A and B are shown apart, each in its own frame.
Chain A
Amino acid sequence: MFKKFIGQWETQSMVWPGIIFLIIFSYIPMYGIVIAFKDYNLLEGIAGSEWAGLEHFREFFNDPNFAQVLKNTLTINLLALAVAFPAPIIFALLLNEVTSTKFRRFIQSVSYLPHFVSWVIFGGLIINVLSPSNGVINEILIQLGILKEPLNFMGEPHYFKYILVAGEMLKGLGWGAIIYIAAIAGVDAEMYEAAKIDGAGRFQKMWHITLPSIMGTIVIMLIFAISALLNTGFEQILVLQNALNREMSETIDTYVYKLGFQSMRYSYSTAVGLAKSVIALFLLVSANYVSKRITDKGLF
């Protein structure tokens, strides 16, 4: 064993830098989580700071912002799960029914574009389109007589979740569909032939063959989506957030960032982040378990 190990030292030496890298950049920050149980301050360092027990976790319940932040996070993600999650599936199914190959390729190319544009630019585009002074949406709504005067969409807290989820849906539509398109491409053509002989129409084929065939992929994506229920990401929210909509646009991710970097409450910020990670891990494992029981499909 030892001799064999020495014999392959070259290959071993290729892998170790990666392991060392992960120890430094992933595992040391995991150790850093102990500051959630301490009163961390920059001068004394992680080891030198006083223990605080569960004090920072208890603080959740006294934090006047916390309930609202949690509510915003869940509202946004449940809306995303209801709208932005099925959208790429429907898009892939519809795209599969487009008969002209050229037209299909063109649509696919266009639909991937937003994925590669940064959230700063994409958010800028959204703000521009919705702008009360030069936004085309306001113009259209006024022309149609739905609005009397321009509305500052970005300044209305109640619209924030719809704007964010619509933006996420559009940005992820083509990209998210790729995985389903790949799954559809893998469906056995003979099944469609057989269905045709049995007199099945296009809808019936879509419903009884295509959809069940890609169910495995859908379930796996759903498990990921459920485990990310407390995740909103920072980038899109920080771009679209402003002083007027903050009440409804602050989510756990942005709150953790602001607690840490603007209020310098390092320990509390880490505690909130840790609680979120643990819940996410729990959601992942439970969604996987439920899925295995019901559909026999899962991640692990």
Chain B
Amino acid sequence: MSSTRFGSRAFDIFNVLVMIAVVIVTLGPFWFTIVGSLNNGLDYLRGGVYFWPREFTWANYRAVLVDSTIYQAFMVTGFRTIVGTLIHVLFTSLIAYGMSRTYLIGRNFYMAVIMFTMFFGGGLIPTYILYKDLGLLNTVWVYIVPGMFSVWDMIIIMSFMRTIPDALLESARMDGAGEYRLFLQFILPLSKPVLAAITLFNGVYHWNSYFDAMMFTTKDSLQTVQLFLMRMVTSADFAQGVNASALANIPSQAMKISPETMKLAMMMVVSIPIILIYPFLQKYFVKGIMIGSIKG
């Protein structure tokens, strides 16, 4: 008996150590990035800055925030995050509501048409050709329109709407309210928990996207923050160029910034909105994925 208790105790200690290791490995890289971004850029290049800034400065953040190209990229990303998410949630929930009505004629047929797209698709080039023919290339709408609807989100919203008791709608129906009024006045407010989850997920998706910007736009004015950051991370020349333009803007900071530390500062600036909404995300996403997993 005592040996089991000892084994159990040893396991507890081992388990806590594993968990602490997970925490360190997850948060460590963020910490090193914060430290680097707050360190003098030229000093950083000498190496050895890990746990605490050696020569503290805000100059890297200043350099990132005065750049007009970065500002433009933030505007583009902000626009797609707000407008794209709103349209996505409204459009997807409208279809989800229609599909949640079991009396709908042709419902199984519609469902088959919808589900097939989850398992097979046209691929990159046919999609590109389509966007070209629709005139979506090199417009901000290429970020919004193709993302208006998602089958996965529809299924999650639909399974939630099915759980809303029909009795709640009965009296409104008696008063002669049409389906659109029911949808706007009753269904949407009642679906708040699932809509909040989908809104947050989709907002994060928009905030984090770079691939569509890379494929479907060539103009610098349509660059998203993530694409801008991607170029800084993967191309030393690009980071050099950003650094040079920052120096032209704020020559007084010349001795304090380098492409390397500006990159780290930019990474933090782009992460901050995610970290800020993180508490809300946490509250809703577990619910969201639970609802999804019942169906999936």
User: What residues of A have a CB within 8 angstroms of the CB of B169 in the complex?
Assistant: none
A129-B32 in contact (CB<8A)? yes
Contact A11 B179 (CB under 8 A): yes
List the B side residues contacting A11 at CB < 8 Å. 98, 101, 103-104, 179
B267 touches A29 (CB 8 A): no
A281 lies within 8 A of B30 (CB): no
Q: Are A124 and B233 in contact (CB under 8 A)?
A: yes
* A103 at the binding interface (Cβ < 8 Å): yes
Say whether B267 contacts A136, CB under 8 Å. no
B-contacting 9-mer, from A13-21, A59-67, A73-81, A290-298 = A13-21
Q: Measured between alpha carbons, how far is A129 from B27 in the docked complex, in Å?
A: 12
Q: Are B289 and A179 in contact (CB under 8 A)?
A: yes
Q: Select from chain A the residue with minimum beta-carbon distance to B94.
A: A14
Does B29 count as interface, using CB distance less than 8 angstroms? yes
Alpha-carbon distance A179/B293, docked complex (angstroms) = 7
Total A residues in contact with B, Cβ cutoff 8 Å: 85
- Contact A21 B15, CB 8 Å, known A30-B121, A117-B274: no
Within 8 Å of chain A (Cβ to Cβ): is B16?
yes
Contact A46 B11 (CB under 8 A): no
- Residues facing A in B19-57 (CB within 8 A) are 19, 22-23, 25-30, 32-33, 36, 44-45, 47-50
Q: A125-B29, A129-B32 are in contact. Are A134 and B49 (CB under 8 A)?
A: yes
CB distance from A180 to the nearest CB of B (A): 10
Closest to B229 in A: A120
Do the beta carbons of A118 and B126 come within 8 Å of each other? no
**Which residues of A in the span 228-256 have a Cβ within 8 Å of any Cβ on B?**
234-235, 238-239, 241-242, 256
Tell me whether A107 is interfacial, beta carbon within 8 Å.
yes
In the complex, chain A residues whose CB is within 8 Å of the CB of B86 = none
- Interchain Cβ contacts within 8 Å, total number: 246
Q: Which residues of chain B have C-beta atoms less than 8 A from A103's C-beta?
A: 16, 19
Main secondary structure of the interface of A (DSSP, over half): helix
Which of B60-68, B191-199, B202-210, B249-257 contacts the other chain? B202-210
The 8 A CB mask of A103-129 against B (1 = contact, 0 = none) is 100110111111011111101111111
Q: Does A12 contact B (CB under 8 A)?
A: yes
A107 to chain B, nearest CB (A): 5
B99 at interface (Cβ–Cβ under 8 A)?
A: yes
Q: Are B49 and A14 in contact (CB under 8 A)?
A: no
In the complex the two chains form, is A120's CB within 8 Å of B226's CB? yes
Q: Please, what's the 1-or-0 string for B255-296, where 1 marks a CB less than 8 Å from any CB in chain A?
A: 000001001100100110011001001100110011001000
Across-interface contacts of B148 in A (CB, < 8 A): 21
Most buried by A among B26, B95, B123: B123
Mask for B213-240, Cβ within 8 A of A = 1, else 0?
0010000000000100110011000000
Q: Is A173 an interface residue (CB 8 A)?
A: yes
Q: Interface size of B by Cβ–Cβ distance < 8 Å?
A: 93
Is the CB–CB distance between A25 and B130 below 8 Å?
yes
In the complex formed, the residue of A with least CB distance to B275 is A113
* A170 and B233 in contact, given A4-B105, A270-B123 (Cβ under 8 angstroms): no
Interface residues of A in 124-146 (CB under 8 A from B): 124-129, 133-134, 136, 139
The answer to whether A269 has its CB under 8 Å from any CB of chain B is yes
Stretch at the interface among A94-102, A156-164, A187-195: A94-102
Give the CA-CA distance A251 to B26 in the complex, in Å: 27
- Whether B282 contacts A32 by the Cβ 8 Å rule is no
Chain B residues, CB < 8 A from A15: 95, 98-99, 104, 110
Name A residues whose Cβ lies closer than 8 Å to a Cβ of B: 1, 4-5, 8, 10-12, 14-15, 17-19, 21-22, 24-33, 35, 42, 46, 91, 94-95, 97-99, 103, 106-107, 109-114, 116-121, 123-129, 133-134, 136, 139, 170, 173, 178-179, 182, 201-203, 234-235, 238-239, 241-242, 256-257, 260-261, 266, 269-270, 273-274, 277, 281, 284
| Chain B residues within 8 Å of A, Cβ to Cβ | 4, 7-8, 11-12, 15-16, 18-19, 22-23, 25-30, 32-33, 36, 44-45, 47-50, 91-92, 94-95, 97-99, 101, 103-106, 110, 113-114, 117, 119-130, 132, 134, 146, 148-149, 151, 154, 178-180, 183, 204, 207-211, 215, 226, 229-230, 233-234, 260, 263-264, 267, 270-271, 274-275, 278, 281-282, 285-286, 289-290, 293
Q: A18-B154, A91-B22, A103-B16 are known contacts; what are 8 more A-B pairs with Cβ within 8 Å?
A: A29-B129, A118-B226, A118-B270, A129-B28, A238-B230, A242-B234, A260-B125, A266-B125
Can you identify 8 A-B contacts, CB atoms within 8 angstroms?
A12-B105, A31-B126, A97-B11, A106-B23, A111-B23, A113-B278, A261-B128, A277-B123
